[in-house]
Amino acid sequence: MWPYVIEHPIRIGTYGVMMAIGFLTALKILSYDHRRRGIDPKFAENTIFLGIVGGVVGAKLAYMFTEAQTVSWKDFFSGAGLTWHGGLILAAALIIGYYRIKRLPVLVMVDAVAPTLASGYAFGRIGCQVSGDGDYGLPCGDFVDRASCWLVEMYDKGFEFCWAKTRPLFCMSYPDGIVPTEELVHPTPVYETVTNFLLFGVLWGIRKRIRHPGVLFGLYLVGAGVLRFLIEIIRQPEGRPDRFLGLRDAQIVALALVVGGLALAVFARLRRIPEGQEYGVLREPALASAPQPARKKRR
């Protein structure tokens, strides 16, 4: 495990570093795609900035008011306790509000953002895996033990992993993580990293083929919702309460993403494509930046 990149003179966590890499990668990808779409790349910079602010603040607030046992504003400035759906909701609200203020074509803009959301989430889960921050899956003990798997012990690296001999099962332990465990568990951060990079690849690969703006973002919402709902089935509850029908907050939000994504994709597909926005590429007379008010001529 590698919980901290450095500890002296200041402590810098691996998770934070991976988040930074995810945001920087997203900026590079988004800037590239903005140029292809005929959008000023400066909007990519502002989008990522709002994503950072909304993602971190929203994730922290959602954790404090929906999962934390006690609420203290001192906890707001700690590095622990982040809830993914809180960050997604607040960041989306800030970014879409920004696009509306700038009078940008919202569906074209969110389509451009969609692949970077998947890649950014994947980088964040790499940070969870490497630091061993407790985002583990359920124990594998009911299915496999150390005697029934090909076990690779890497205690010098702070973990061990096991391939089951009797079934296709992969488990890991995190004895030196921030939240240590010597029990073999499902490495859910690994699963989420792999599946979200795959989701990024699919979205990136089909983005030029989708004629109607908004469909790509709808597909992202469906994919992200399905993946998160499934991973919650094998994740440890970690004190997160069950809500409606025994579902956790993350699962309820995931289902809402699926329903909302399907609705958006259908709406975008049936909607008449605005002039100059076909395939999400802005062309004249559509403007790639906010229209400027006409200046009055001086007499």
Pairing of strands 4-6, 12-13: antiparallel
pLDDT tens, residue order, the chain (299 aa): 788 888 888 888 898 899 999 999 999 999 999 999 999 999 999 999 999 999 989 988 887 777 766 666 666 655 556 787 888 999 999 999 999 999 999 999 999 999 999 999 999 999 999 999 889 999 987 667 677 777 776 656 667 778 777 666 788 989 888 899 988 899 999 999 999 999 999 999 999 999 999 999 999 999 999 999 999 999 998 767 778 788 988 899 999 999 999 999 999 999 999 999 999 999 864 454 544 445 555 44
Query: Residue 249: its pLDDT value, please?
Result: 87
Query: Residue 285: its pLDDT value, please?
Result: 43
Contact 187, 200 (CB under 8 A): no
List of E strands, 73-133: none
DSSP string, 141-208: TTT--GGGEEEEEETTTTEEEEEESSSS-EEEEETTSSS-EEEEE--HHHHHHHHHHHHHHHHHHHTT
Contact 241, 248 (CB under 8 A): yes
Cβ neighbourhood burial of 122 (10 Å; 0-12, 13-18, 19+): buried
How many whole angstroms separate alpha carbon 15 and alpha carbon 137? 18
Interior angle at CA 15, CA 14 and CA 20, nearest 5: 95
Contact 178, 134 (CB under 8 A): yes
Q: Torsion over CA of 204, 205, 210 and 215, rounded to 10 degrees?
A: -40
Query: Residue 299: its pLDDT value, please?
Result: 47
Would you kindly state where each structural domain of the chain is located, as residue ranges? 4-135+195-280, 139-185
How many whole angstroms separate alpha carbon 169 and alpha carbon 223? 23
Contact 248, 242 (CB under 8 A): yes
Query: Residue 227: its pLDDT value, please?
Result: 97
Q: In angstroms, how far is the first alpha carbon of the chain from the final one? A: 71
How many whole angstroms separate alpha carbon 215 and alpha carbon 266? 8
How many whole angstroms separate alpha carbon 208 and alpha carbon 202? 11
Query: Residue 243: its pLDDT value, please?
Result: 81
Query: Residue 111: its pLDDT value, please?
Result: 98
Q: Scanning the structure block, which residue is given the tokens 């702070």?
A: 158
Query: Residue 163: its pLDDT value, please?
Result: 78
Q: How distant, in Å, are the alpha carbons of 130, 214, 222, 257, 259 from that of 113?
A: 26, 11, 15, 16, 19
Please tell me the total number of residues recorded for the chain in this structure.
Answer: 299
How many whole angstroms separate alpha carbon 113 and alpha carbon 132? 29
Which residues have CB under 8 Å from 179's CB, separation 6+? 132, 133, 134, 136
Element (H, E) at 231: helix 215-233
